[in-house]
Amino acid sequence: MPIEFVTGDLFVNRVKAEAFAHGCNCAGSMGAGIAVGFKERYPAMFEEFKRRCKAKPPEFTLGDVFLWQEKGKPAVFNLGTQPRPNRGATYPIVEAALKALRESADEAGIKSIAMPRIAAGYGGLSWKKVRALIEAAFADWSGMLYVYEEFKEGE
């Protein structure tokens, strides 16, 4: 199976993933959880994310994927998993975002992605159920997906 569940710090990137992925709200905020780490490490991405969320009509909505590529850093897939900060994730939305992630990675030629436990922290969903959605979406993928199930600083 092209999925490995690991422990460590996503941003250390010991698995040498080409890209990171994380769940986002669609309100333009990255103010809690691992999103803060993305906002700090990719400030230009955050500004574009915020612009897309605030555009009329919005250019980043539930189930969408927004790929950011920046020279010298892993690419970032932002997944639209909840409408507002700290609430609203649903299993169908997460499933749609995972499908879009896989399609976007294939289009971009990205073969390795590392991601945290999406939608199970501030999103409020059951990790067991989200994990099953991840396994179904990536079961026969030609690349490698690393899912950080447990945070361990510096690893």
Was domain 3-151 assigned CATH 3.40.220.10?
Answer: yes
Per-residue pLDDT at 122: 83
10-residue mean pLDDT profile of the chain (155 residues): values are: 92 97 95 93 98 97 96 97 89 97 98 96 92 97 95 80
Per-residue pLDDT at 75: 98
DSSP string, the chain: --EEEEEE-GGG-TT--SEEEEEEESSS---STHHHHHHHH-HHHHHHHHHHHHSSS-SS-TT-EEEE--TTS-EEEEEEEESBTTB---HHHHHHHHHHHHHHHHHHT--EEEEE-TTSSTT---HHHHHHHHHHHHTT-SSEEEEEEEE-TT-
Domain range annotation of the chain:
3-151
Per-residue pLDDT at 1: 62
Model pTM score: 0.95
Per-residue pLDDT at 154: 74
